[in-house]
Chain A
Amino acid sequence: AQKITQTQPGMFVQEKEAVTLDCTYDTSDPSYGLFWYKQPSSGEMIFLIYQGSYDQQNATEGRYSLNFQKARKSANLVISASQLGDSAMYFCAMRERGMDSSYKLIFGSGTRLLVRP
């Protein structure tokens, strides 16, 4: 079963508007972490934001915020005031405990965001 689901393969947004990228997850572990990464055309994966399963408040980092709805198992990324430089692939990921208590990331398939001028 897929553990991280990103249902939007591609999204458009007008410059200066807000956009929400969807992410749902599945886990039976009560302790987990959720991450969003951005991958611009240059290829590197850039960390954007983190949400812990026990965090009481939604995470925010500048123009990025995470709409965390634990009961629905969703962790949507909200980008406010979109900029042309936000055009990229966006990956949602969940931290899962691996062997010997190590942690590894499980990624979704990604959403390609294109910001229109």
Chain B
Amino acid sequence: EAGVTQFPSHSVIEKGQTVTLRCDPISGHDNLYWYRRVMGKEIKFLLHFVKESKQDESGMPNNRFLAERTGGTYSTLKVQPAELEDSGVYFCASSHRGSGAANEKLFFGSGTQLSVL
């Protein structure tokens, strides 16, 4: 079974440019999460999809970030325009929606290392 895949693994862009990150969750997983780790800091929650709907986007830093999950399969996270402070590792995670939400195990991808110069 394929795991959570993220593309690209690395992206180097200039300030002001646009970057789109992609996440393919594990097949059949309704829940999809985006997290990011800015250099030297904790991994922070960005948002949560249930199928194609945004369940919780309270962690999105500002309106330069746009996440979509058309059709409830893969998701994209677009940063436009990118700023220096957006540099970090962006993780995607997915899980199967079950009855025991508190112990729901998240499967993470390898992340996208974004560098904004």
Contacts and interface: CB of A to CB of B under 8 A. Distances in A.
B58 A99 contact: yes
Contacts of B106: 35, 47, 105
Contacts of B110: 42-44
A109 B55 contact: no
Given A47-B105, A50-B105, A52-B103, A100 B35 contact: no
Taking residues whose C-beta sits less than 8 angstroms from the other chain, chain B's interface range is: 20 to 34
Contact of A44 (B42, B56, B108): B108
Given A47-B105, A103-B101, A98 B35 contact: no
Contacts of A42: 110
Taking residues whose C-beta sits less than 8 angstroms from the other chain, chain A's interface range is: 20 to 34
Interface of B: 3, 9, 33, 35, 41-45, 48, 50, 55-56, 58-59, 89, 91, 93, 101-111, 113
